[in-house]
Every structure is written in structure tokens, then in C-alpha cells.
Chain A
Amino acid sequence: KAGVTQTPRYLIKTRGQQVTLSCSPISGHRSVSWYQQTPGQGLQFLFEYFSETQRNKGNFPGRFSGRQFSNSRSEMNVSTLELGDSALYLCASSYHSGQGAQNTEAFFGQGTRLTVV
């Protein structure tokens, strides 16, 4: 069974540009979450999608957005890039909805390393 796949693995963008990152979850997983990891702020939750609906959103500006498709693949977009957006962006997929008391586990991809210059 293939794991969580994130593309691209590395990306260099110029300040002011926009970027789209992609995440393909494990087959059968309907929940996809996104996290930003930086040395200064650590791991911070961006948003989570389940069955194409955004259920949770972290404390990030509106420049950060996402969506999920009917096949559960997810994309996140960052517009008007700033130097501070340089980070490792991690995607995680889960089978369960996270709404009940099921034995849940999040499986992570290898991340996309975004550098803004």
C-alpha cells in the first residue's frame, strides 16, 4: 500500500509569487491535514479536510488556503509569498474521521520544502 505522497519535494519561489503544494493520501483515507514546520515556530496546524470539507483551520492568514478533491487528494495554496513562509510543509492522512473515539492514527508524507527568496 502506497504511503502519503507529497509533491514537489523541494520548491524555490520568489517573494510575492504564489505556490500550490499537492498531497495524495493513503488509499481509502478521507482525512487530510496540513502542517507547517519551521525552526522558530515548530509544527503548526494549518487546516484539515474530510470528504472535501474543511473542518478545522489553524491560525494562519487568509493567504493560506486549501482544498480537497473527490478522490481525497488535497492541495494547499499560498499566495503573495513572504520570506517567513519558508518552511517544511507536511501533509498527513487518516482513515477515521477523528470525530468519534476510534483508534486513530495520522500517516505523514515526507513533506515539501519551500524556500522563498
Chain B
Amino acid sequence: AQTVTQSQPEMSVQEAETVTLSCTYDTSENNYYLFWYKQPPSRQMILVIRQEAYKQQNATENRFSVNFQKAAKSFSLKISDSQLGDTAMYFCAFMKLPGGGNKLTFGTGTQLKVEL
């Protein structure tokens, strides 16, 4: 079974600053996907970024990037130039591949607040 751990329940950052959210996971699988999802107050889960385990290059999506350390089983999210709209709960998630059947295992989340 896989586990995902987010050790920062809450974080805050000033607008335009950079913040890094941590995530570690435990698995015996060699191939998998890792995701960061954002859940704003509207409660709709939105995919922020995704990383395939077999790709060594870290994924980047505009202001969002990850630091994927497979050996250390670490998957952190860096948000650059933070904006007020980034205020949300952020969840790290794991999906086994192949054969994962779209099942996501989530961490407990980090509540990020972007302040003026």
C-alpha cells in the first residue's frame, strides 16, 4: 500500500514571493504518477501539476514547478510569484501505474494562504 505524507498543515506567503510545499511518499512500486491538486474554497479539486516517475526531468507549469527526488521519495511543489488566487488547500497525490485504475492516494493537505 502507498502512503503520502504532507508535514505542513498550514503555510503563508506574501504576494509575489516564492513558497515550497513538501510531500513525501512511500511505495514499493517503480512506476507511478505524482500529482499536486489545489482545492480552493469552492471545494473543486483542480490539477496543478503532474510528474511521471520514470521521467527524471522535473515538471513545470507556468509559476508551478516540482522537485522530484525519486530515491528520497520526495515531491515538493514550488509556487513562484504567489498570487492571492493561489490561496487554497494543496494536496499531494499518488497513482500507481500500470494497473492503478485511476485510484489516487492523497496526503492530508497543506492550507496555503497568500497575503498582501
A residues touching B (Cβ–Cβ < 8 Å)? Answer: 31, 33, 35, 42-43, 45, 48, 50, 55-56, 88, 90, 92, 94, 96-101, 103-111
Complex CA–CA separation, A105 to B104 (angstroms):
10
Give the nearest-CB partner of A32 in chain B: B102
| Cβ-defined partner of A42 (8 Å) among B50, B52, B98, B109 | B109
Given the contacts A106-B47, A108-B45, A33 and B104 also touching, CB distance less than 8 Å: yes
B residues touching A (Cβ–Cβ < 8 Å)? Answer: 31, 33, 37, 42-47, 50, 52, 91, 95, 97-109
A48 engages B99 (CB within 8 Å): no
A45 engages B43 (CB within 8 Å): no
Chain A interface, >50% SS class: strand
| Cβ-defined partner of B104 (8 Å) among A45, A88, A100, A111 | A45
A-B contact count (CB 8 A): 76
Q: State the Cβ distance, B35 to closest chain A Cβ, in Å.
A: 8
B43 engages A98 (CB within 8 Å): no
Given the contacts A42-B108, A110-B43, A111-B43, A104 and B101 also touching, CB distance less than 8 Å: no
List of B residues within 8 angstroms of A110 by Cβ: 42-44
Complex CA–CA separation, A23 to B109 (angstroms):
24
B105 engages A98 (CB within 8 Å): no
A-B contacts, 19 of them at CB < 8 A, read A31-B102, A33-B102, A43-B104, A45-B103, A48-B101, A50-B101, A50-B102, A55-B101, A88-B43, A90-B45, A97-B101, A97-B102, A98-B98, A98-B100, A101-B31, A101-B97, A106-B104, A110-B42, A110-B44
